[in-house]
Amino acid sequence: MSNRRRRAWGNSYRTEYLRSRIWFRRRDAWFAETRRRGIPLACAACGQPAPPGQLELHHVDYRHVVRAEHGWVSRERHEDLVPLHPLCHDLLHRLIERDRVLARMRSRRDASNLALARLRQKLVRLGAS
């Protein structure tokens, strides 16, 4: 088991699901639900507020993303997605991929949460947030 990001080529999650109408509907629903809950939109890493168009959603858990016979089914829970600026999202993946412990953790959720905490600390030290 690995939490490393797979190459796009041959990875239907990245080449199909993340480009599908189903994902974009789920993404829009996530932002609508966040607004409905009264949660201000901000990057989970640097803490800077941002509109939906400037944020990506990181999957902390893939268990609810299912490829069915008829296509993709999006059942991610609200807590399975975390808003990040594109650069912060890339940095988060780099932390997970380059750290042997995080890359091999049994739980992607635990790996993501630990990496996100480390990224926040690093950004605070650098004065980026």
- Given a contact cutoff of 8 angstroms between Cβ atoms, the answer to whether 65 and 75 are in contact is yes
**Residue ranges per structural domain of the chain:** 12-126
Q: Supply the pTM of this predicted model.
A: 0.84
Work out the pLDDT band at 10, boundaries 50, 70, 90: low
CB count in 10 Å sphere of residue 109: 17
pLDDT tens per residue, range 21-71: 999 999 999 999 999 999 999 999 999 999 999 999 999 988 888 888 888
